[in-house]
Amino acid sequence: MLCAIAVMIADHRFHALETLRLSLSVIARPVQQFAALPAEGLGRAAEYFASQDRLLRDNRELRANLLEQSALAQEARLLRAEEEHLLGMSKSRYAEQGILAEVLYTARNPFTRKIVVDKGLTGGVRAGMPVIDGTGVVGQVTNVSPFTSEVTLVTEKGQSVPVILVRNGLRALAVGSGKGGTIDVPFMPVSADVQDGDVFVTSGIDGTYPPGLLVAKVASVEKNAASMFARIAARPVAGVDSYRYVMLLPLAPTPPRPETTREESRKPVKERGSRAWRERNPGAGGGGAAR
């Protein structure tokens, strides 16, 4: 007891045991580390699994955000394309008279190339009206109901459009092939000056399609000396299988017959052959004057 008190006084007053204490701490350090290994290992394992769980959760959130952002980006691209498409139609010279319509769906018959739009008789649509988009001719209205209309695409078999070649003014007839979304240009002589890449536009001679609308671009020209006609295949310029909006153009008014001709046709033959009639129409009564 007295020895312990003496050692304590000596250590407190003179730091006699400082070296011994440092030596013991150095010796005890490995023992302390070894004793702490299990607890430290459990803590690291718990931290590892917690980190893994956190990383997996963050990864799921990032994937969900990526999918959402991707969908938004695709929607933005679609809206931008539709905006450019609508802007192209709004700049058309037919924008004021045309009827803007939305494509609802493709016709149920898989063997025909037709679409259905959301405008009908109540919207001023009539059968025969040409249909365009921001690029060119899409087709023609062939069936009208009160609220919807059926449009036969320009690529449908038998659907024809009088066209003219932009490069040299050559007149032709563009006819839908009904397969592969292509357009044929039949009855063109082998000697006709038609090349790949040539562009056909509407000629306007049929009174249905206004002149100058883009119709098709020549994709291939096959000329065989044994045949009288060349085989010309073209691709439609308009997006017949794309875009959600189209424009329906009004039908061109039928030119009235000359008023004089209609009035004269109502008069009896006797009156038209009389002397007074010949005096009023000296150019038409030459035969009577000769007599």
- Per-residue DSSP letter, 122: G
Residue 11: partners with Cβ closer than 8 Å, 6 or more residues away: 17, 18
Residue 170: partners with Cβ closer than 8 Å, 6 or more residues away: 164, 192, 193, 194
- Per-residue DSSP letter, 241: T
| Confidence (pLDDT) at 33 | 73
| Confidence (pLDDT) at 272 | 47
Question: What sections of the chain are H helices per DSSP?
Answer: 2-14, 18-90, 259-266, 269-272, 275-280, 286-290
> What DSSP string describes 243-258?
-SEEEEPPPPPPPPPP
The per-residue pLDDT for range 23-50, each reduced to its tens digit, is 767 777 777 777 777 777 777 777 777 7
Structural contact between residues 89 and 95, judged by C-beta atoms closer than 8 angstroms: yes
| Confidence (pLDDT) at 96 | 74
The per-residue pLDDT for range 172-220, each reduced to its tens digit, is 999 998 877 899 999 999 989 999 999 999 998 888 888 989 999 999 9
pLDDT at 269 over 50: no
The per-residue pLDDT for range 105-147, each reduced to its tens digit, is 887 777 788 899 999 999 999 999 999 888 889 999 999 999 9
Could you give all domains of the chain from N- to C-terminal order, each with its CATH number? 2-65 (no CATH), 95-252 (2.40.10.340)
| Confidence (pLDDT) at 16 | 61
